[in-house]
Amino acid sequence: MLEKELGPRIRFFPLPCSGRIEPLHLLSALESGADMVYLVTCPEGVCRYQEGNVRARKRLMYAQKLIEEIGLERERIELVVTTDKDLLTIDGLTRGLILREAIVDPSPVRVKKHKGKYMDSYKGVRK
Amino acid sequence: MITAERKPLSEIKAMIAPYRKILVVGCGTCVAECASGGEKEVGLLSSALRMDAKMEGREIETKEITLDRQCVYEFIEQLSGLVNQYDVILSLGCGAGVQAVAEVFPEAYVVPALNTTFIGETKEAGLWVENCRGCGDCKLGYFAAICPITRCAKGLFNGPCGGSKDGKCEVNPDTPCAWQLIITRLDESGRLNLLQAIHPPADWSKREGKGPRKIEREDQKT
């Protein structure tokens, strides 16, 4: 429902456990045009599968290091550690993330260089 | 297993800079085990290179393929028909793999994406440790299968140096003293008498100074 309401502004990719994430998943999201990629995990210590969220954090850090090497800000991949309360209101969590995203510049991967027109129209949509 | 690590992206970029069509070739054996050149790493590197090109306003095209073994001609043959469609082959194989691909396709420009590092074992997930120098004169049978050439910082053959502390090497306190390990294992298995033998210095002529080594066996030839 939320995806329908917010349209192309956000995509959800449910995982059985955050420990299933691979750095390539995060890079693929950025490559396909995402400005930001959020990995939402349970708090450490409460993983149903022991340490899925610990592994997820380490893989996320690896992906951050890799995108930094190509000149992308590491902040474009962000770990969001939820509380039990957040999990019950994924709707609220998502809306909060989208509001924060508004301060991030469009991804240079998506925004072609020397195409000011595209940039301008994009900014318009964001307002 | 042969271990390797990915080169800095800047070095890889500099090698492939003049080219638009890039064949990214991984190896599914040693370098996949040490998470530097398998299918996942091929995907990651390709994605990073494509994004980097986009950010610089360039267009590149990548094709990803991972061979079971990049150092064996029968597997390299799978690249036939692909190689001539690409400007450069970016190999995520070890040094042997890179050279074998270039040998099979001498007309192709093959560049390495990895720095080949050492022969080692997977100690635990995410940890690889060197344990063989490939000296060509293995003495593991005398030393409880613990190589003093590789695992002793001083490469001693005839007992410990005396500098270890709490079972750790004085050169690198993170490393267990190889001689402590050798003596403990021989003692526990009742083979301490093996240490009575005196071993002359290693014969490095079997490894060094004669160019590349080779193994030739008539029974394996076709």
Give how far Cα B91 sits from Cα of B44, B141, B148, Å.
14, 37, 33
| pLDDT band at residue A54 using 50, 70 and 90 as cut-offs | very high
Cβ–Cβ < 8 Å for B144, B186:
yes
Q: Which domains does chain B have, with CATH numbers?
A: 2-118 (3.40.50.2300), 133-206 (no CATH)
Residue in A22, A69, A110 closest to B9 by CB: A69
Closest-approach residue (CA) in chain B for A23: B44
Decide if A69 and B48 are in contact by the 8 Å CB cutoff: yes
What is the predicted pLDDT for the residue at B216?
84
Decide if B48 and A28 are in contact by the 8 Å CB cutoff: no
| Tokens 């053959």 belong to residue | B157
Give how far Cα A53 sits from Cα of A60, A82, A83, B22, Å.
10, 11, 13, 35
| pLDDT band at residue A88 using 50, 70 and 90 as cut-offs | low
- Partners of A114 on chain B (C-beta within 8 Å) are 57
Give dist(CA A118, CA A23) in Å, integer: 29
What is the predicted pLDDT for the residue at A115?
44
Mean pLDDT of B163-178: 95
Using the predicted structure, report yes or no on whether residue B37 has a pLDDT greater than 70: yes
What is the predicted pLDDT for the residue at A1?
73
- Per-residue pLDDT tens over the stretch B126-163: 999 999 999 888 999 999 999 999 999 999 999 999 99
Using the predicted structure, report yes or no on whether residue B180 has a pLDDT greater than 50: yes
Decide if B51 and A30 are in contact by the 8 Å CB cutoff: yes
What is the predicted pLDDT for the residue at A101?
63
Closest-approach residue (CA) in chain B for A113: B57
- Partners of A31 on chain B (C-beta within 8 Å) are 47, 50-51
What is the predicted pLDDT for the residue at B213?
80
Closest-approach residue (CA) in chain A for B53: A109
- Partners of B56 on chain A (C-beta within 8 Å) are 113
> Which pTM value belongs to this model?
0.88
Cβ–Cβ < 8 Å for B120, B53:
no
- Partners of B44 on chain A (C-beta within 8 Å) are 23-24, 27, 66
- Per-residue pLDDT tens over the stretch B209-219: 778 788 888 88
Closest-approach residue (CA) in chain B for A24: B44
| pLDDT band at residue A124 using 50, 70 and 90 as cut-offs | very low
Q: How far off is chain B from A90, nearest CA to CA, in Å?
A: 29
- The answer to whether A30 faces chain B, any CB pair under 8 Å, is yes
Decide if A114 and B55 are in contact by the 8 Å CB cutoff: no
Question: 10 Å Cβ neighbour count for B28?
Answer: 18
| pLDDT band at residue A103 using 50, 70 and 90 as cut-offs | low
Q: Where are the domains of chain A?
A: 2-126
Mean pLDDT score of chain A, rounded to an integer? 82
- The answer to whether A93 faces chain B, any CB pair under 8 Å, is no
**% pLDDT > 90, chain A:** 50
Using the predicted structure, report yes or no on whether residue B177 has a pLDDT greater than 60: yes
- The answer to whether A114 faces chain B, any CB pair under 8 Å, is yes
**% pLDDT > 70, chain A:** 81
